[in-house]
Amino acid sequence: MLSFWERKSFTHYDIIIIGSGIVGLSTAASILEKYPNKKVLILERGVFPTGASTKNAGFACFGSLSEIVSDLKKSSEDEVISLVERRWKGLQILRKRLGDEKINYLNYGGYELMFEENLNLLNKIDEVNKLLKPIFQENVYEVKDEKITQFGFDRDKVKSIVFNQFEAQIDTGKMMSALLKHVASLGATVITGADVKSINNDSLEVILANDIKFSANKIAICTNAFSQQFLPDEFIEPGRGQVLVTKPIKNLKFKGVFHFDEGFYYFRNFEDRVVFGGGRNIDMQNETTTELLTTPLIMDNLKEKLNSIILPNQEFEIEHSWSGIMAFGKTKKPILKRVSENIYAGVRLGGMGVALGSLLGEELSEMINND
Ligand SMILES: Cc1cc2nc3c(=O)[nH]c(=O)nc-3n(C[C@H](O)[C@H](O)[C@H](O)COP(=O)(O)OP(=O)(O)OC[C@H]3O[C@@H](n4cnc5c(N)ncnc54)[C@H](O)[C@@H]3O)c2cc1C
């Protein structure tokens, strides 16, 4: 049972944010940067953020050529351009807020590996560059086949490489740790180990699994793949992403972020290691889950691709592997909405939430502030 003092000083806030991933923390930052006197509480069920934001690969990206061509088949040109623009804007907010040094932002560029079956995509480069020109003012994609040998990839499999000068990489752990420090410095309270079981729409109470209740004037749901319990009418499908990291590799030949297979596979250097993830598409049914596990099927697939495509003829050892959970909908557009009079949601970030997260937080904070 809470004491009189606890009830008086610990349980009521102007705004309660559920979830301390990049969206929850960015929402808090945007609110407090504008209204420093607001009392903001962030409730996180993990010991630290435990969804996607601390588990991802740290690509500062906005879409590879094959992803954009694929998106153009399912969505209108305007929708595709708008999503790329929003990811790009989100990255600029993140960089400005925390500074490139604190997030270890390194602009080594991005590359997409093209196999025999993808070569027809090269004909689309001019068309996609033209579509994205209003955002970047320059061409985004260009062929750089000389990199195949330079980077040490298997020449028989990798037939072409498309370079993107605007892509970069960050240190995911440093970014989230800097964001946590930033919101704390602005005066937000973050309580971890706080598993929210339900929200009372009428009393605006947030009830934890241990029955402790907090109340607020406004509540923001930022629980991404874990949001179905709070938003039963929305379509939110979890998608697990499995990742591995090698031990340091002597004379690693490449730097940058790399994609193939419409973004289903992604790898990068982290210093002289390789971080490699993906492969969800070979076991879609089992990877549609919120369970934070790795599986032999996906891990073996990643190791096989490392051996045969990325690091052929090079010795490497796997140091560690893990997984994180993304959220997908029928389209790539995230959910940003007022759920009821004083309850809001910014969820379903998909596979590029590092980019989109800061902008979605800003948009969510504007919605909350303006009502
Ligand atoms: C393996 C992997 C690789 C990725 N790589 C990239 C990449 O390179 N670049 C990129 O842009 N994006 C990448 N992403 C996507 C990106 O990480 C996500 O889109 C983004 O982090 C989503 O942020 P979020 O704040 O919405 O969700 P999350 O980070 O999942 O945050 C939600 C938080 O809510 C908490 N929570 C959930 N339920 C409750 C509850 N009931 N009570 C209290 N707290 C709760 C969770 O513990 C979690 O901390 C990747 C994702 C994964 C999984």
pTM over cut 0.75: yes
246 and 318 share one domain: yes
Domain extent at residue 347: 4-54+173-235+331-370
**Which tokens go with 31?**
């609110």
228 and 241 share one domain: no
Distance in angstroms (rounded) separating the CA atoms of residues 340 and 337 = 9
Report the candidate in 59, 80, 64 with the shortest Cα–Cα distance to residue 333.
80
How many separate domains does the chain show?
2
| Model confidence pLDDT, tens digit, residues 53-63 | 999 999 999 99
| DSSP structure class, residue 56 | S
184 and 212 share one domain: yes
Query: How close is the Cα of 81 to the center of ligand 1, in Å?
Result: 24
| DSSP structure class, residue 247 | P
Report pLDDT for 262.
86
Ligand 1: which of 242, 257, 349 to mutate, judged by most atoms within 8 Å of the beta carbon?
A: 349
| Model confidence pLDDT, tens digit, residues 7-23 | 988 999 999 999 999 99
144 and 165 share one domain: yes
- Tell me if 94 is assigned to some domain: no
139 and 152 share one domain: yes
229 and 264 share one domain: no
User: From the alpha carbon of 324, which atom of ligand 1 is closest?
Assistant: 53
**Which tokens go with 145?**
């086949």
Report pLDDT for 1.
85
Distance in angstroms (rounded) separating the CA atoms of residues 257 and 259 = 7
To 10 degrees, what angle do helices 172-185 and 77-98 make? 70
| Model confidence pLDDT, tens digit, residues 289-347 | 999 999 999 999 999 999 999 999 888 999 999 999 999 999 899 999 999 999 999 99
Report the CATH number at residue 346.
3.50.50.60
Q: CB-based burial of residue 320 (10 Å sphere; 0-12 exposed, 13-18 middle, 19+ buried)?
A: exposed
182 and 285 share one domain: no
Report the candidate in 13, 17, 18 with the shortest Cα–Cα distance to residue 39.
13
- Ligand 1, atom 8: closest residue by C-alpha: 59
